[in-house]
Amino acid sequence: MKFRRFSSALGTSHSPLLSSLALGSIGFAIFCGYWFWFRSPSATQAKLPPLPQDESIQVYFNHDRSGEFTEPYRRKTRQGTDLAAKLIVAIDSAQSQIDVAVQQFQLPNIAQALAAKSQAGIKVRVILEHNYSRPLSELTAAEIDGLTPREREHYQQFQKLVDIDGNGTLTQDEINQRDALVILHNAKIPIIDDTADGSKGSGLMHHKFMLVDRHQVIVTSANWTMSDVYGDFSHPDSEGNQNNLVQIDSGELAAAFATEFNLMWGDGTIGSQTSQFKARKPARSAVEVLVGKTRVLVQFSPTSKQQAWEDSSNGSIGKLLGTSQQQVDLALFVFSEPALGNILQAQSQRGVKVRGIIDRQFAYRDYSSALPLMGVDGNLCQTAGATLQPLKTIGVPTLPTGDLLHHKFAIIDRQTVITGSHNWSNAANYRNDETLLVIQDNLIVAAHFDREFDRLYQRAVIGIPARLKRKIC
């Protein structure tokens, strides 16, 4: 933040009264400046030195305080790591094959990198979620008029990304340069979505992973969109939803992801019903591999309700939470699995320190599992007859307008990390195609997530906010 020189603003008068008023103004201005610095969610925070990276497991955050970059589209210089740039470096390194499974794909720089590798003879395959598999530039005027307000805002963001000259009209040349899906189509990269199995795509294809040469695995909490990586055109202060990227070099782990990808891909022909998404997939257990000296576990959803909950992805999270001895920190987009809330409450009663931040749009909903931890029910009524002490360490982050807490991570005893695409919800467990990734007993990796959690937690609003307390029954 830049402060103006107050001497020039005050002029040359030496009147004691004016001097007194001026000094008061200076003090007030400095107070306001520091208040803005510490409380404004978009204010730049003090830069930190980079943390060491594990040789085989690299971790990055788009709001990392040890880095700085200039966004390629809004040309905004800000703190953080350009997650798209990390993906592009991995793409550029490919020698034989790239497989992508991501819910939403709208970033043209990544699409251009994939197109270049495809044209160089590298095999590229892409799986998308069916609600996001059609290029938005194909929408007709009538379809645009029929969009819901939320869909219209989404389309307007897309239009600003593609409209290079800013004249309000999308030319075919602009579309060819900036519509990511058109770039993939023009490069003749094969794409399927979760209707390829003959279904209507119930649930979500919610994966966000990429495999390169069957040994590099990249898992993000982020969709490949402006909102999830960079920020929105309509909110200049936004800097993208809070997200992470984990890159692991392991042929054994890549093989587990390749099996998941190939189940969904089938023969790559839409409607052939060789593809298997969601509940059509066979039962599959968690896979644990050694990456160097680190145990890494991956488990894919959905799980059949015919299986025991303990064998599901949420069940695996629950088992890990139950092993905590000292501390559990959570940064979650959605937290609506009551069984996990019960485990956290039980661990807290045993003396484990539990801290959590949940995205504001989900934290106070009637199905939120954060509310019982704070001592109220879904109607914001104090829990009748409750014998458990409410946790005073659960809250919501303070973020710039337009940005969301999109992480899905937990840190156990500052050494084991749970992350991936998997929200802590019933839908993620039983309906969606999801990735749950666990990096166990790795202090180097955990330190990165610790720093990210502390960055968010230091500005969090803890407990039930005053405006909602007035509604408590």
φ/ψ region of 384 (left if φ > 0, alpha if ψ in -120 to 50, else beta) reads: beta
Residues in Cβ contact with 392 at an 8 Å cutoff, skipping those fewer than 6 apart: 462, 463
What pLDDT is stored for residue 21 in this prediction? 29
169 SS3 class: coil
What mean pLDDT comes out for the span 318-322? 98
Report the distance separating Cα 85 and Cα 222, nearest Å.
13
Angle at 91 between CA 85 and CA 93, to 5 degrees: 110
Average pLDDT score over residue span 240-250: 98
**C-alpha angle 102-108-110 in degrees, rounded to nearest 5:** 55
Count of residues in the chain: 473
Tell me the average pLDDT across 231-241.
Answer: 95
Query: What pLDDT, on the 0 to 100 scale, is given for residue 387?
Result: 55
| DSSP-assigned letter for residue 400 | -
CB neighbours of 189 closer than 8 A, spacing ≥ 6?
114, 115, 118, 124, 125, 126
Dihedral sign, Cα of residue 466, residue 468, residue 470, residue 473: negative
Predicted pLDDT at 15: 36
User: What is the arithmetic mean of pLDDT over 123-149?
Assistant: 96
For residue 302, is the peptide bond before it cis, meaning its omega torsion is within 30 degrees of 0?
yes
Mean pLDDT of the chain: 89
67-103 pLDDT, tens digit each: 999 999 999 999 999 999 999 999 999 999 999 999 9
SS3 of residue 288 by DSSP: strand
Q: Is residue 357 classed as helix, strand or coil in its secondary structure? A: strand
- Taking residues 146-159, what's their average pLDDT? 94
Confidence of residue 202 (pLDDT cuts 50, 70, 90): confident
Q: Is the pLDDT of residue 232 over 60?
A: yes
User: Comparing C-alpha atoms, which of 157, 112, 109 is closest to residue 136?
Assistant: 157
pLDDT at 44: 65
Q: Which of 326, 240, 206, 213 minimizes the C-alpha distance to 60?
A: 240
Res. 34: pLDDT tops 70:
no
C-alpha 424/C-alpha 367 separation (Å) is 12
As a whole-number percent, the residues of the chain with pLDDT over 90 amount to: 82
User: Taken in order 244, 255, 94, 443, is the CA torsion positive or negative?
Assistant: positive
Adjacent-strand bridge partners of 411:
329, 417
Q: Which helix (H) or strand (E) holds 445?
A: helix 443-457
Say if CB 32 and CB 4 are below 8 A apart: no
- pLDDT at position 380 is 74
pLDDT tops 80 at residue 9? no
Using one digit for the tens of pLDDT, what is the confidence trace for 348-406?
A: 999 999 999 999 999 999 999 999 999 888 777 876 445 568 899 999 999 999 999 99
Q: Which of 45-49, 56-60, 69-73, 220-224 has the lowest mean pLDDT?
A: 45-49
d(CA 53, CA 67): 14
Q: Residue 308, class by beta-carbon neighbours within 10 Å (0-12 exposed, 13-18 middle, 19+ buried)? A: exposed
Domains located in the chain, CATH noted: 57-135+179-469 (3.30.870.10)
d(CA 473, CA 272): 55
Smallest CA-to-CA distance from 274 within 203, 213, 192 is with 192
